[in-house]
């Protein structure tokens, strides 16, 4: 009988770990984004019905940052996958957000 360890199956490298940070807690603070996922929101009637989950690092600790911001979804989708991790600051831009 095989053991799980012998199968060579590795954990998902894009799994997002850590406690959740609120957007208000990171506005104007430099963060590192390691990777992200865009998937269905539990609020399908808001925005485009999708949410952005980002694996961020702040003060050497990893967190989940979740938002329904369609602008941030669009902007992060323009970053080539091989360019992660990236450093950025999230700023409020009127009624939306932007990376700087």
List per-block mean pLDDT (blocks of 10 residues) for the chain, which spans 100 residues. Answer: 86 88 97 96 89 97 97 97 97 93
- Report the distance separating Cα 71 and Cα 87, nearest Å: 18
The three-class DSSP label of residue 24 is helix
- Report the distance separating Cα 48 and Cα 11, nearest Å: 30
Respond yes or no on whether the N-terminal peptide bond of residue 85 is cis (omega within 30° of 0): yes
- Report the distance separating Cα 38 and Cα 73, nearest Å: 7
pTM metric for this prediction: 0.86
Structure tokens at 80: 């080539």
């Amino acid at each position: 009988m095989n053991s799980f360890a012998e199968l060579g199956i590795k954990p998902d490298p894009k799994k997002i770990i850590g406690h959740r940070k609120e957007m208000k807690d990171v506005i104007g603070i430099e963060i590192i984004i390691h990777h992200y996922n865009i998937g269905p929101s539990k609020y399908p009637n808001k925005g485009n019905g999708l949410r952005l989950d980002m694996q961020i690092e702040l003060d050497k600790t990893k967190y989940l940052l979740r938002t329904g911001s369609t602008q941030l979804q669009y902007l992060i989708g323009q970053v080539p996958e091989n360019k992660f991790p990236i450093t950025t600051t999230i700023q409020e831009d009127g009624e939306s957000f932007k990376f700087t």
